[in-house]
Copies of this chain bind each other. A is one copy, B any other.
Amino acid sequence: MPSDTAPRPVILTGDRTTGPLHLGHYVGSLRNRVALQATHAQYLLLADTQAMTDNAHDPERVRRNVLEVALDYLAVGIDPALSTICVQSALPALAELTLLYLNFVTVARLERNPTIKEEIQARGFGRDIPAGFLCYPVAQAADITAFKATLVPVGEDQAPLIEQTNELVRRLNRQAGRDLLPEAAALIPAIGRLPGVDGRGKMSKSRGNAVPLSASDAAIEAAVQRMYTDPDHLRASDPGRVEGNVVFTYLDAFDPDLQAVADLKAHYRRGGLGDMVLKRRLTGLLQATVTPIRERRAELARDPDLVMDILRTGSAKGRTLTEQTKREVTEGLGLFSL
């Protein structure tokens, strides 16, 4: 626990601005960020530059969602007095550090990165990988080090990106002959991303299985109604399976009454508990979570100038900090500066 005088540990996190966030983000990251901002120096990056690495054909989408994601942040309770929200493209030092770091990584090393390999497959790039996409782990290393972040919340599948960052940090520190930059640790959340309502993979807007943070009560009810449970649990009296049952996964994520959830699981396993009872309970919980977010989001959306002001203030702070790190790195390596 940091004392009042010790510097707070620095967290860098953020999202590609490719679409509004949803309940999967809420559980996997947003909720944690709201908790962490009280005890950490937390920077949130609206990653529009990184979003372009696989959306070069649709810059309008990337642009539009800068404000959408900012609204999501503020609506869930990110407090600009505690967290700093920056627009990635507004911080030129990130691009400058990326270009510098690219000289300290081989093409072969980037091609071996397991996260990149999987993502290239998932996006169906085949041989046509945009050079920016291959290089994005280096851009991420620039982001992390520019803020001197020591904690980076990531999904388990993204741990190789932190490893790539630390390789670069060690290489740069060795060459500078001193600790220019700190290494970072992955902060892997206890509860990962939610499955989609259909139970097929993670919740994702593009898969059409997501509940957005602006969902109405009716939309939430409909989403829970079509939620995947146990296909063999045909009558309420039958014993049911809890594992892989999306409704229970969501109850684990949202129900504050752990004892009640444990009792419901036991009841469901022995039989005599219908899906509808569970779904009604979950619907109520999700509506209670989303309603204040949706309302605050709608209120904020009516005042885009306020949101832009928050982004300007946060980006100015981020610009000063990242500019300072860039200067330290170029001077530490003995490069020219005017």
Contacts and interface: CB of A to CB of B under 8 A. Distances in A.
Given A48-B335, A89-B337, A311-B338, A99 B59 contact: no
A52 interface: yes
A253 to B, nearest CB: 32
Contacts of A53: 102-103
A48 B134 CA distance: 24
Given A99-B49, A106-B127, A315 B333 contact: no
A308 interface: yes
Contacts of A56: 103-104
Contact of A103 (B99, B127, B132, B334): B132
| Majority secondary structure, A binding face | helix
Interface string A39-56: 000000000110011001
A131 interface: yes
Nearest to A128: B106
B92 A106 contact: no
B96 A92 contact: yes
Interface stretch (A60-68, A228-236, A258-266, A272-280): A60-68
B338 A312 contact: yes
Contacts of A87: 336, 338
A100 B62 CA distance: 13
Contacts of A104: 56, 130, 132
Contacts of A90: 337-338
